[in-house]
Structure 1
Amino acid sequence: MQQPAPARLAFDDVLIDFAGRRLVRGGAAQPLEPKAFDVLALLAGSPGHVFTRDEILDAVWGHRHVTPGVLNRVMTLLRQALGEDAHHPRLLHTLHGVGYRFDLPADAAAPVPAALPADPAAEDPAAASTAAPPLTATARQPPQRRASDQPSHRRAWRWWLPPLLAALAFTGWLWWQPAERAPASAAPTGAAPAAPGVAAAGRSIAVLPLANASNDAEQQFFSDGLSESLIDALSRFEGLKVIGRTSSFQFRGGNADSASIGRRLGVSYLLGGSVQRAGDMVRINAALTRAADGSTLWAEHYDRPYRDLFALQDEITSAVAAALQVKLLPPEETTGHGDRPPSGNIDAYDAYLQGLKHWHDEDFPRAAEYMAEAVQLDPAYAMAWAHLSGARSTAAVFWKEPPVVAREHMLEARLAADRALQLAPGLGPAHAARAYVAFYGFDHRGALAECRRAVQLAPDDGTVLNGCGYTLAGIGKLHEAIALRERLLAIEPLYTVNHSEYAKLLMATGRLDDAQKYLRIAEGLSQPKSSPSIQFMYFAIARGDSRAALEVARDRPSPWREMNLAIALQASPDRAAADAALAKVLADRTWEKTDPYLVARAYALRGDYGRTVNWLERAPAGDILFMLGDPIILRARDDPRLVAFCKKAGLPPPATSEALGLDQIRAAAKH
């Protein structure tokens, strides 16, 4: 029969204080997540006893809401806290396929019986009254730390298995931006003191997606939305580099170790945990760890009414900021933030988070529906108005909506952007939303001014940097677009699209070697692996390497293979093959409707600028908008027919674009 756990266990320089729920090594307290200490109490309370994984999961978590990967992570934390070498364990042993065993060193002191008082509880009656009892393998209820953890007949917590991690390959490129020193801010009540060495280290952090611990897959939007809100809140602290959502969310599931995540994201610290929403209550577990060794700087468990969610978010971010010794930026430097409804309407926030999920899924019509619901619930919700505008305008231009519907949605987008700015004149995303409306309406001066203002107000907002990167490139301001892409690289090191778009801009400005490097990075980040990006074909054309261009074209799926072969052959010396390939494509009349812009590119490569313009006139606005960044089309930048077309379409004169024409790029490469 299993023996009751002792009150204290001491060996070497380690003290496990079961009653006080603390682990001390070398005289220093080792911060542990509550669940991690519960696992330690279970194992160390019965030295030499083998606990199966199911027994541990059942005793500590009730088994219903975690994957085995969570237990793996906890064991890693425990080994680090105990100073264990996972490859040569002395205390914590893994029995593969079975479970875990805790062994005491041969010369360890005898455990202090549970009947004896244990420090600090014996010395502090208050501590004794709140100390949780040690777990046993026969326990069936999760360990209870506070009154809010007691069973309630009014609510039943439900759990859901977190989604599986989609494996991510990374090419090894690492962006590092050391943070400036900042004076420490006072720690909030209950927060752990900052760990030694934090002040001297680069302050950089990634918020990993909070695990959805609700027994409802439909609540994924909520856990993701809270994670993104924490990213937004932490970016308001001075000298703290915060990785963006796209990159940090690629580590959903927790299978990668902290050191690997830190290297890939280029950060020193990780914030992770889980969130469970049930009825009018929300439970959040959060932990701040050092990426290098996985050691815990701060961890806390919260049970709060859902109506107190915003205060809870502030409490978490304040605790993290205190642990990292960073301070809040002055109010005038944080005007780009504000993802909460000003009225505190929690239903409006819920709709906003739903819309945000569809926004990131690039389902902009659905995103617009939820953002419209959010502003209906809180008409003063500026951030929701801004996202409503962006979703409506993007769908109107790129979703091939019927003309009448597209016009209605563009009008709605314009009004929504104006409303957002009336409510919050200093809101960066609102200026970006107005920039998109102007850009899609071929108001390039307005788009340029609004993008510059948006970036000034929200310099670290990934959505603003990405959207304005596209917009400025379309206007022909490639050097400004490159600067935005470089800024986005620093906070989104794993964002494949940004690497690809950055490479396109570099190529269009004649920086072919750099462009090739970032195309390779984008290729390495792509999951699942597919055929090489079509950008490699255009890169080869810019290099004058027709053979390489043809190899990429042949690797495309049909019918794109035929079209890309026709384009690649126009840059080859085989004129007969080029003529035959283009004739074959033109015989298929569907290209006139599906992608006339590609046919225009083929004719531009042939030097037939009259037919180039003829096919551009059939192209949709979504393609024409970005024409001034296209080196192939800009071969004809001085041709009167292209100049006239741009004027008619509402584009600036092609000569004003900072993108080089293909011939200029080739000439520069020879030098």
Structure 2
Amino acid sequence: MASGAEVRQGAERYRFDGVVVDAAAHTLVRDGGIQQVEPKAFAVLLELLRPPGELIDRDRLLDAVWGHRHVTPGVLTRAIAQLRTALNDNALHPRYIQTQHALGYRFVGTLEEEPEAVPAESAPDASVEGEPYRPMPHAGTERRLEPRYQAGLWLLAALLLALALAWGARQHRGAPALAVSPSIAVLPFTTLSDDRRDDYFAEGLATEMHSALAGVRGIKVAAWLPPEAIDRKLDMQALGRKLGVATVLDATVRREGQRFRISARLSDTGNGVTLWSRTYERDAAAIFDTQSEIASEVATTLVGVLPDAGEGLRKRLTPTRNFAAFDAYLLGMWQLMKPRSEVAEGEAIASFNNALAQDAKFARAQAGICRGHIWQFIAARSVDALNRATQACDRARQMDPRIGAVQLALGDLYAATGETQKALMHYRAAENDASEKANALVGEAKAHASTGNPELAMRLFTQALELSPGNPLILGRLGYMQYQAGAVQEGITSLAKAVDLDPGNARLWSTYGGMLMASGRNADAIHAFEKSMSIEPLEHVIGNLGLLKYEEGNYREAADLHRKSIALDSDNFELWGNLADALAELPDGAAQARDAYSKAAGMAESFLAHKSDDAMAYSLLAWYRANLGDAAGARESIRRAEALPVGQDEVALRNAGTFAVIGDIPQARLRLQRARAAGIPEARIAGDKALQRAGLANSAGVRRD
């Protein structure tokens, strides 16, 4: 053993320049602070320290640490880079780890002698605040403690260790901690093609790579973020801190006719070092093999040899062998993941159909059609969209039910129709596909929230965010679940994080604005709606702006906005109901209002025949029936709405207005009490025209109980 290392009773410790490496405790401490490094990197450091100054070739290190040589040299390069970051070493001017190009590495620091323990009887007189010094007995002569005292000392030692660790962490809180396990962010690839419309192809390759790497055991993959959410001005270290990862994969893509060029690079965010890079120039048909090669190189650099020799990655990245079908599929996914409107979803479905025209067995393209129709049904509450979604999902199931995307789509379909147990069965099956597991957990969380189990839903959302940290779509869905459960402020906080992570998502801004409006923060809501409108004019945003105009008393302007929203989505009964409310306030609008209420009621009845678990839909149907003079029908719809577990705060407020319309003031007062108890802001109650007319509220917000 080299000088400077202490090896006593199985211990192995090394000390140099304020650094202490303890093999038994598996710790690396620098200047009093613990530096977290991956186990393989720590093992490499020990191999270098055991013969300090000796050149250790790469093969010897790979044999000693990884047990074989069938791994790429990148795993060793990454381990050395992580050690340099932990030791604050510089590759160009090394103080501790020197690279011998093409040969190996050596430790060039100076090891220090471990300080000897001071014998108790030779210790000088000392006192602490007047307390006399009491020498401790020698090892081997101390009195054996009784078990209860031994346990007490172990507890005290553990407590002191915890305090020491906490102190060390506190001292170094300003510096980002290294990821303990391999972690990576896949950035949106950049197109260098002359045709800027080729963005979808570059981004599509990146999302496919992201999903494939998310399925590799042992690698933590940061959530996918669109290009507008990535600050390219940040250096690699700052980007790593923001995304919370140790490595970043980026690439440029140029496509010219039937040829492409991809230049990919994997970088260490601790020091900015390039761990691996390569440029590929090939024919279009080779895109699948190229994707697989890049993914395998990256994965083996991060975790070493893959147990299946990369077969899982090749399978995930080769959903078809037809390049034209794959190209159309990438376009469809790009359209589907953009801020969702009925137009965008229709374009995505057309692209997926184009992919199927090229390869009739392309199951993931068929699953994309299913998802597009499901989202149309959820957004527009259109029965026709539900029928189309059911047919598309059945076809996807017949093509290949083993694919996670197919199981996820089936789960979404049954969740949309309120068949919770069937939905959960398919979501759990989708979990077997690691690349879809986070989305499957979100589906399960939403299903449990819909049945009145928010605690379990929250645990599942937490698991999903652990798998995909900082995922804006998951945060958005979490926020909506919190809002439905009555935790409005928590929902607003989650949506605020979501729009901060993905500021270019019109749908997230729309949902955020809707929650702000529901909490009575109308000025903030208008700002959020304007942000959404600046990205894409969504029907719900226009409708919500119409509701704000209605509350202000600008009924004709509100009616105009509602007509615009209906022009974008004519199958949504809620939009027709909003138009009816505005028309009913106009001197010449009674007949038109009745027609709009009739249309809204008929569409709501058709919708509820397919989705009977939507409490708010029943509550809205009650409102339409009350305004059409059908008091008995309104009461029955209220009964059904209040028998369901979710969203009872908004349901209570809506039902209070409905009871006011049919003249049942005691029941209206009872629902108002429920709404207030659930946290509905007084400003919302004050703005309800039906409650004002019944003398239960006024525009000044004064309670009239």
The alignment status of 1:291 with 2:269, answered yes or no, reads: yes
CA deviations over 1:244-263 (Å, ceiling 9, x no partner): 33x15445683332223222
Cα shift at 1:269: 1.0
* 2:324 match: 347
Identity of aligned residues (%): 21
* 2:411 match: 435
| Structure 2 CA distance for aligned equivalents of residues 661 and 487 of structure 1 | 28
Relative to structure 1, the CA distance from residue 193 to residue 623 in structure 2 (aligned partners, 3 Å threshold; closer, same or farther) is: farther
Check whether the contact 2:370–2:393 (CA below 8 A) recurs between aligned residues: yes
Q: Give unpaired runs (5+ residues) of structure 1.
A: 1-181, 570-579, 605-610
* 2:353 match: 372
State the number of aligned residues.
455
| Structure 2 CA distance for aligned equivalents of residues 184 and 229 of structure 1 | 32
CA deviations over 1:218-252 (Å, ceiling 9, x no partner): 4322222211121122112112111233x154456
The alignment status of 1:309 with 2:279, answered yes or no, reads: no
Larger mean CA deviation between 273-282 and 433-442 belongs to 433-442
Q: Give 3-state SS (helix, strand or coil) of 2:194's partner.
A: coil
Larger mean CA deviation between 549-558 and 515-524 belongs to 549-558
* 1:273 match: 251
* 1:360 match: 337
* 1:318 match: 296
Relative to structure 1, the CA distance from residue 474 to residue 339 in structure 2 (aligned partners, 3 Å threshold; closer, same or farther) is: farther
Relative to structure 1, the CA distance from residue 592 to residue 316 in structure 2 (aligned partners, 3 Å threshold; closer, same or farther) is: closer
Higher relative contact order (CA closer than 8 Å, sequence separation 6+): 1
* 2:645 match: 657
Cα shift at 1:206: 0.6
Q: Give 3-state SS (helix, strand or coil) of 2:76's partner.
A: coil
Check whether the contact 1:187–1:319 (CA below 8 A) recurs between aligned residues: no
* 2:198 match: 219
Check whether the contact 2:418–2:612 (CA below 8 A) recurs between aligned residues: no
Check whether the contact 2:559–2:579 (CA below 8 A) recurs between aligned residues: no
Relative to structure 1, the CA distance from residue 623 to residue 202 in structure 2 (aligned partners, 3 Å threshold; closer, same or farther) is: farther
| Structure 2 CA distance for aligned equivalents of residues 224 and 341 of structure 1 | 17
Normalization by structure 2: what TM-score? 0.52
Higher helix share: 2
| 2:601 alignment partner, one of 617, 631, 634 | 617
Relative to structure 1, the CA distance from residue 494 to residue 603 in structure 2 (aligned partners, 3 Å threshold; closer, same or farther) is: farther
1:46-445 equivalence runs, <5 A: 191=74, 193-196=76-79, 201-245=180-224, 247=225, 249-250=227-228, 254-325=232-303, 328=306, 338=316, 340-342=318-320, 344-361=321-338, 362=340, 363-395=344-376, 398=379, 406=384, 413-440=389-416, 443=419, 445=421
Cα shift at 1:461: 5.2
- What residue identity is the alignment partner of 1:311? D
Check whether the contact 2:255–2:261 (CA below 8 A) recurs between aligned residues: yes
CA deviations over 1:621-665 (Å, ceiling 9, x no partner): 99976984769959999x996784499xxxx86534244435667
Relative to structure 1, the CA distance from residue 191 to residue 294 in structure 2 (aligned partners, 3 Å threshold; closer, same or farther) is: closer
Cα shift at 1:453: 3.3
Cα shift at 1:509: 2.1
Q: Give 3-state SS (helix, strand or coil) of 2:643's partner.
A: helix
The alignment status of 1:520 with 2:520, answered yes or no, reads: no
CA deviations over 1:121-147 (Å, ceiling 9, x no partner): xxxxxxxxxxxxxxxxxxxxxxxxxxx
| Structure 2 CA distance for aligned equivalents of residues 325 and 295 of structure 1 | 18
- What residue identity is the alignment partner of 2:184? I
Check whether the contact 2:438–2:465 (CA below 8 A) recurs between aligned residues: no
Check whether the contact 2:212–2:313 (CA below 8 A) recurs between aligned residues: no
The alignment status of 1:454 with 2:430, answered yes or no, reads: yes
Cα shift at 1:377: 2.8
Relative to structure 1, the CA distance from residue 549 to residue 271 in structure 2 (aligned partners, 3 Å threshold; closer, same or farther) is: same
- What residue identity is the alignment partner of 2:207? E
- What residue identity is the alignment partner of 2:548? N
Cα shift at 1:208: 0.9
Check whether the contact 2:75–2:304 (CA below 8 A) recurs between aligned residues: no
Check whether the contact 1:502–1:518 (CA below 8 A) recurs between aligned residues: yes
Check whether the contact 1:187–1:322 (CA below 8 A) recurs between aligned residues: no
| Structure 1 CA distance for aligned equivalents of residues 370 and 257 of structure 2 | 31
Q: Give unpaired runs (5+ residues) of structure 2.
A: 1-64, 84-178, 531-541, 582-593, 624-630, 651-672, 681-705
| Structure 1 CA distance for aligned equivalents of residues 213 and 498 of structure 2 | 28
RMSD between superposed Cα atoms in Å? 5.1
| Structure 2 CA distance for aligned equivalents of residues 592 and 250 of structure 1 | 27
Relative to structure 1, the CA distance from residue 254 to residue 447 in structure 2 (aligned partners, 3 Å threshold; closer, same or farther) is: same
Q: Give 3-state SS (helix, strand or coil) of 1:289's partner.
A: strand
Q: Give 3-state SS (helix, strand or coil) of 2:254's partner.
A: strand
Q: Give 3-state SS (helix, strand or coil) of 2:209's partner.
A: helix
| Structure 2 CA distance for aligned equivalents of residues 301 and 238 of structure 1 | 26
Relative to structure 1, the CA distance from residue 204 to residue 417 in structure 2 (aligned partners, 3 Å threshold; closer, same or farther) is: same
| Structure 1 CA distance for aligned equivalents of residues 73 and 217 of structure 2 | 22
Check whether the contact 1:499–1:518 (CA below 8 A) recurs between aligned residues: yes
- What residue identity is the alignment partner of 1:655? A
Cα shift at 1:328: 4.7
| Structure 2 CA distance for aligned equivalents of residues 472 and 487 of structure 1 | 14
Check whether the contact 2:291–2:317 (CA below 8 A) recurs between aligned residues: no
| Structure 1 CA distance for aligned equivalents of residues 425 and 247 of structure 2 | 37
Relative to structure 1, the CA distance from residue 474 to residue 523 in structure 2 (aligned partners, 3 Å threshold; closer, same or farther) is: same
| Structure 1 CA distance for aligned equivalents of residues 231 and 517 of structure 2 | 39
- What residue identity is the alignment partner of 2:180? A
| 1:563 alignment partner, one of 536, 547, 552 | 547
| Structure 2 CA distance for aligned equivalents of residues 252 and 441 of structure 1 | 36
| Structure 2 CA distance for aligned equivalents of residues 210 and 185 of structure 1 | 34
